[in-house]
Amino acid sequence: MLIRKAPRFRSSEITDVKAYLNRRSFMAGAAALALTPSVARAAAPAPGRPLAATRSPAFSLSEPPTKFEAATTYNNFYEFGVNKDDPARLAGSLKPRPWAVQVDGHVARPKTYEIDELIRLFPPEERVYALRCVEGWSMIIPWIGFPLASLLKRVEPTGKATHVEFTTLLDPAQFPGQRPSFLGFSSLEWPYIEGLRLDEALHPLTLLTVGMYGQVLPNQNGAPVRVVVPWKYGFKSAKSLVRIRLVAEQPRTAWEKAAPHEYGFYSNVNPAVDHPRWSQATERRIGEFRRRPTLLFNGYADQVASLYAGMDLKKHF
Ligand code: MTE
């Protein structure tokens, strides 16, 4: 991502201290304790409203999930600032109710859904997905949601639709990062826009997400509804959505507008295609020390590689 200010703490600082001490030597434990003040700065949210969901074994990983505290205090949500702990510190200004999501564009049956109506219509399931960020860190998160395809089929895309455009709420009153005065510069063009090809959006792995860790989404993770695209870098998974539009051209995304040479439209996790400023060959799983090799399509190649058959993934990065 475009980091114009150094993040205030590193991923290794947010490991759950107790687990850390059990696993590591005294020296490593002492280092963790020295770092705990940073953890306190961006506290994990109080438990949210529980959200029941059926577990989907088809989408589960064998690895343990990242600690809830880490997943909710170390992430990107530029509407709250560019530091990793800004979302957790500032997300209290977001009001996820009342909320509506407009689904329109090249569809036969456009509709605006009130958020709780949306959640009632599509029974939620829990899926444990690996999330890989373009900056080289990754997490394992039990998301709760339903296939985006279920919603798209309901509004009946017409033959003209080739892509889906996602739009995050534009409201500087709720998102301090959208105020021109916030940092003295505009980090991105607002609202945050992302997009997928229609076949990517209809793929069964693509999840319209309304919860995580058994509860409704915390504000900093994109309340009340976001997308999760597990085989792409995290920035494709747009948060706090107000509009899902079926369009006839490839959407111009927020990151492409900001830095087109660094953030392409596809953004598939690919260890063989480096970011211009750093390698994508390895990643640091939050809570681990050693970097691990990054997997093509974030480990979902069996399921999604066919979407890109014949494409030069270095060119279409
Ligand atoms: N959505 C919006 N609206 N604004 C953002 O800044 N950041 C993206 C993505 N979605 C972002 C966003 C990036 S870069 C990442 S890595 C993920 O959210 C991180 O959030 P998560 O850990 O909750 O998935």
ω before 224 within 30° of 0 (cis)? yes
Give every residue of the chain whose pLDDT is below 50, as ranges.
3-40
Q: Are 143 and 209 in contact (CB under 8 A)?
A: yes
Helix, strand, coil percentages (3-state) for the chain, rounded to 5, are 30, 25, 50
Q: Are 80 and 220 in contact (CB under 8 A)?
A: yes
Question: What element of type H or E holds 302?
Answer: helix 301-304
168 lines ligand 1 (CB under 6 A): yes
317 domain-assigned: no
Write out the two tokens for 248. Answer: 């006839």
4 domain-assigned: no
How many structural domains comprise the chain? 1
The confidence score (pLDDT) of residue 16 equals 33
Smallest CA separation from ligand 1 atom 17, residue: 234
The confidence score (pLDDT) of residue 7 equals 36
**CATH number, domain at 185?**
3.90.420.10
263 lines ligand 1 (CB under 6 A): no
**Number of neighbours of residue 44 by Cβ within 10 angstroms:** 17
Measured on CA atoms in the order 217, 66, 1, 281, is the torsion positive or negative?
negative
Contacts of 208 (CB under 8 A, 6+ apart): 122, 145, 146, 147, 148, 151, 225, 226, 227
Q: How far is the CA of 16 from the centre of ligand 1 (A)?
A: 22
- Structural domain including 162 reads 11-308
221 lines ligand 1 (CB under 6 A): yes
Write out the two tokens for 290. Answer: 């050693």
127 lines ligand 1 (CB under 6 A): no
237 domain-assigned: yes
pTM: 0.88
257 domain-assigned: yes
Smallest CA separation from ligand 1 atom 4, residue: 77
DSSP calls for 175-191: -GGGSTTTTSS-SSPSS
180 domain-assigned: yes
The confidence score (pLDDT) of residue 1 equals 66
313 domain-assigned: no
Write out the two tokens for 208. Answer: 């319209």
The confidence score (pLDDT) of residue 15 equals 34
Write out the two tokens for 256. Answer: 């492409």
Residue 245 backbone dihedrals phi, psi, to 5 degrees: -120, 130
6 domain-assigned: no
Q: Is 242 exposed, middle or buried (0-12, 13-18, 19+ CB in 10 A)?
A: middle
The residues that bridge with 52 in the sheet, in sequence order, are none
140 domain-assigned: yes
Q: How far is the CA of 77 from the centre of ligand 1 (A)?
A: 5
The confidence score (pLDDT) of residue 184 equals 66
Smallest CA separation from ligand 1 atom 22, residue: 75
Write out the two tokens for 188. Answer: 């991105």
1 lines ligand 1 (CB under 6 A): yes
The confidence score (pLDDT) of residue 42 equals 74
